[in-house]
Amino acid sequence: MMIFLPGRAVVSHWRIRPPGILIHGYAGATETPLDPIAPSPSHPRVDPLRRHGFQPGPSHPLHHLAGLAAALCGAPAQLILRDDDGPWFREEEGVGAVDPCALRLAERLELVAGGRSLGWLDLLGPGPLGLTQGQRQALRLLADHICALVAAGQEVCERRAVPRGPSGASFVPGLVHELHNFTFGLSASLDAFQARFHGQEEVLRYGRVMLGSLERLNGFLEELRLYGDPSPQALQERNLEPLLQEAAEQQRLPAARAGVTLQVRVAGPLPPLRADGESLRSAFGRVLELALQQESEGGCVVLHAGVRSQEGRQVLFGYVDGTGLRLTGLDLDRLFEPFYFRASGLGRLALPVARRIFEAHGGNLSAGPGPEGGMRIGFMLPASA
């Protein structure tokens, strides 16, 4: 959830604190670091936002959050974010419009993620603010939103710092981009050709064949892009069961057309997990689609999910069973290699892409014997700490 205040301009005020002098007369402000951000020896000449995973500029997601807190409570607010080197982001709203000597620290919400303090969201006023329960709940949600943004930005920064080979960093995305340019040109030419010879049955027949081939090629390019870089882009704390239901719902129509029963069975309540909902949903969808394509009419595909303890922590686990998924002639050690499993049009990269998405979430995807001689595709994902 992105939260902005339309039309609200926010200006950060940086002030140097002389020794022993309170800034703005905030009571208790001696515990609040208000020094300007100075270059740290450990991060020379690096923009503080960039080294925390954010792009500088007026549209980055940390802007306007102090303004939102001020609007919620009708009081001046400041947002201070810090790391081991000190403050790296500060934003104020409404402070400059009030006599600074009349302000004092009225409310403070400490921002904590992963057991570590990220900074504070402060409300300022001449005395206690007397916030309502609804205002306090809204502030807590805002503080949680700030923590999620900062945690996501730090994960982006960490991913950028990990050395990666050219296939993940530039070659595969660049190749996909260039091939998409070619397919776009072919598709546009085909559209023009069909429009020019509209009504001629033979032209339409071959045009449909070529259009189907282009659609399959574009689908393959999307899988190739995901295989080259499966990194989660929007990690948030999520519930797994809705993602499973959504992935299954996307396959309801193909299952109905094939005359196959598709079920989701969840054993008890599941703990939340940190996940990019879109990529994880697509990974489950690829596994289900592959299983459905192997089923004959009257068959059944079931997605099971549950929770268990593993090495002192909770993990989410489950599997997909299908009577049409068979081990015959398959080398399980190679099943997740690109282009090995070609039982369907999806098989070339479906399982490799799905496994890489699970691994990017700290989990795994595997395969082994299932009931009645079939094949079972299992998964594991770590629950939130």
Same domain for 370 and 249: yes
Is pLDDT at 13 greater than 50 in this prediction?
A: no
pTM over the 0.75 mark = no
Compare 323 and 255 and report the one with higher pLDDT.
Answer: 255
Same domain for 177 and 45: no
Q: What is the pLDDT of residue 264?
A: 93
Same domain for 248 and 347: yes
Is pLDDT at 74 greater than 60 in this prediction?
A: yes
Same domain for 272 and 173: no
Same domain for 240 and 376: yes
Same domain for 377 and 255: yes
Q: What is the pLDDT of residue 341?
A: 65
Average pLDDT for residues 288-292, to the nearest whole number? Answer: 86
Q: What is the pLDDT of residue 171?
A: 65
* Averaged pLDDT of the chain: 75
Average pLDDT for residues 327-338, to the nearest whole number? Answer: 70
Same domain for 362 and 270: yes
Average pLDDT for residues 317-323, to the nearest whole number? Answer: 87
Most confident of the ranges 18-32, 126-140, 343-357: 126-140
Q: Which domain holds residue 248?
A: 236-382
User: Does 1 reside within a domain?
Assistant: no
**What is the count of structural domains for the chain?**
3
Is pLDDT at 141 greater than 80 in this prediction?
A: yes
Is pLDDT at 385 greater than 70 in this prediction?
A: no
User: Does 58 reside within a domain?
Assistant: yes
pLDDT in tens, 360-384: 889 999 888 777 777 788 999 999 8
Is pLDDT at 197 greater than 80 in this prediction?
A: no
pLDDT in tens, 34-62: 333 333 344 344 577 877 877 776 667 78
- Kindly indicate the confidence band of residue 160, based on its pLDDT and cuts at 50, 70 and 90: low
CATH number of the domain encompassing residue 96? 3.30.450
Beta-carbon-side half-sphere exposure of residue 90 (alpha carbons within 13 Å):
19
Same domain for 194 and 149: no
Average pLDDT for residues 103-126, to the nearest whole number? Answer: 86
Compare 47 and 6 and report the one with higher pLDDT.
Answer: 47
* The last residue of a domain, from among 102, 130, 161: 161
User: Does 266 reside within a domain?
Assistant: yes
Q: How far apart are CA 311 and CA 57, in angstroms?
A: 44
